[in-house]
Amino acid sequence: MWAGVGSTLASIMFLCTIFQKYLPYNLRDFIEKYVHRVTDFFNPYIEVVIHEFTGERLKSNEAYTAIEAYLSTNASKRAKRLKAEFGKDKDYLVLSMGDHEEVTDDYKGAKVWWKASTTTPKVQQLSYYPTSDKKRSYKLSFHKWYRELVIGSYLNHVLEEGRAIGVLKRQRKLYTNNPSQDGHRRSMWSHIVFDHPASFRTLAMDPGKKKEIMDDLDTFSKSKDYYAKIGKAWKRGYLLYGPPGTGKSTMIAAMANLLNYDVYDLELTSIKDNNELRKLLIETSNKAIIVIEDIDCSLDLTGQRANNKVKEEEKDVIKKAKEDSKGKESKVTLSGLLNFIDGLWSSCGGERLIVFTTNYVEQLDPALIRRGRMDKHIEMSYCGFEGFKVLAKNYLDITSHDLFETIRQLFDETQITPADVAENLMPKTVNGDAETSLKNLIEAFENVKEETRLKAQKEVKDEARLKAQEEVKVEAILKIEEEVKEHTVKDEVK
């Protein structure tokens, strides 16, 4: 029997070759169309193809990723050829269907087939897509009896399950925008695996404030329906401000870990213009934190209102700096950034946080940080005794010690950043004990105290010197005025 099938196939292939080679193009097209119609009439199966990349710019297709995740369980049980990739934290492998593999799935009594395909285009194309030229896709086949069931509910079921599996298994990423270049470039964002260990548990700050922020994030992540109901894009802005070393960047990592989000670290100075800023935003995924660190230094975003206050000589310095960097400077403007945050572009996806950090909140344009754009303003401040206890637990694994009382008093008297406390608590030798670290901290307090005292002394001296100079100036002016008066009187007498 197999010999018969083989010879029939061979004859069909031969006829096809003749058909391709010798028939005129129009006739060939015409015949192909009708052959398809005839075969479709007898073929009871429907096919749906899902490609890995879509659109002109080959944007990755979220549906493909979800299907890949959904099929991973099925594939590991049934497929013969599997692909393996590192999963979250690189401590296990995630399996997916190998090329040209087929698996079946059962759903509410219906049987469907999934097939993985890979094709390599014959003509090499210029592409933004960073990896290979291969085009991957999944093909779903099912009997036409199940059309409504599959299209109406099975596909949604696959996407939902796939997304949920993907969130659990995916490696989170830290993206940075590539410097703007003329001509072609690979992609707008580069990424590495995000595995920062920071968490809210290890973050030193006031416990009440910490809980408030965690609750806020939790509420946000569960409010998809609420945002849809009030007609707002599902996004939230956070402004973190405070002196250097108070944990702003650490807090962002803790937020990403809490919510299981990707992080997009946006460097505004390497963006050419507002248009490029918009394109970058479009290419961010959902479940993401978009971060602009040191927003006050990023661009001249202090706005016209603030610029009016700038003194003339400062204006000259700014002008010179701008001239020096001519050609290199970014043309992203304050209004471009405002559009980025709350314009139409932010409606092109959901579940995104936008976080700004700054050391100088008072220098920012109020429009940039008003509520509704930056919904929550969080001051990251100097370390308090409660914060110290968190750090002592993290670094030394202790919750109490005889020296704690001394340290508590020192916190009342002196301002010190969590970064300084952390640095001093870190054991300096392999066998360093807790007491040595605590004594180091006390010494650091003494140094900070001494520095503050010297600084205050210097300020008093400077002030006194300025006052003395002022007095000398006033005396000199009075003397001159006196002399002028005397001369005038003499001249009048003459």
Ligand X SMILES: Nc1ncnc2c1ncn2[C@@H]1O[C@H](COP(=O)(O)OP(=O)(O)OP(=O)(O)O)[C@@H](O)[C@H]1O
Q: Which one of Mg ion, ligand X, none is in contact with 271 (Cβ closer than 5 to 8 A by kind)?
A: none
* Cβ–Cβ under 8 Å, residues 278 and 348: no
Binding to ligand X in span 5-34, by CB under 6 A:
none
246 binds ligand X (CB under 6 A): yes
Q: Coil, helix or strand for 177? A: strand
Give how many residues touch ligand X by CB under 6 A. 15
Which residue's CB is nearer to ligand X, number 62 or number 216? 216
* Cβ–Cβ under 8 Å, residues 89 and 71: no
Question: Which position has the token pair 């490609």?
Answer: 51
Q: For residue 112, what are the contacts with CB-CB under 8 A and spacing of at least 6?
A: 104, 105, 106, 140, 141, 142, 146, 150, 154
Q: Coil, helix or strand for 378? A: strand
Among 249, 284, 346, 381, the residue binding ligand X under the rule CB under 6 A is 249
Binding to ligand X in span 89-128, by CB under 6 A:
none
Which residue's CB is nearer to ligand X, number 69 or number 204? 204
72 binds ligand X (CB under 6 A): no
Which residue's CB is nearer to Mg ion, number 265 or number 329? 265
422 binds ligand X (CB under 6 A): yes
Among 96, 250, 257, 346, the residue binding ligand X under the rule CB under 6 A is 250
Task: Say how far apart CA 172 and CA 492 lie, in whole Å.
Answer: 90
Chain-centroid distance of CA 289 in Å reads 4
419 binds ligand X (CB under 6 A): yes
Determine the residue with CB nearest ligand X. 247
Q: Are strands 288-292 and 352-358 parallel, antiparallel or unpaired?
A: parallel
* Cβ–Cβ under 8 Å, residues 332 and 268: yes
Task: Say how far apart CA 293 and CA 418 lie, in whole Å.
Answer: 19
248 binds ligand X (CB under 6 A): yes
CB of 295 to Mg ion, least distance (A): 11
205 binds ligand X (CB under 6 A): yes
CB of 211 to ligand X, least distance (A): 15
Torsion of CA 405, 409, 410, 412, to 10 degrees: 140
Residue type, 318: I
Selected range binding ligand X among 147-155, 198-206, 343-351, 370-378, rule: CB under 6 A: 198-206
Binding to ligand X in span 368-387, by CB under 6 A:
380
Strand partners, 25: none
Backbone angles phi, psi at 23, to 5 degrees: -80, 145
Among 244, 317, 443, 486, the residue binding ligand X under the rule CB under 6 A is 244
Which residue's CB is nearer to ligand X, number 66 or number 291? 291
Name the site residues for ligand X (rule: CB under 6 A): 203-205, 244-250, 359, 380, 418-419, 422
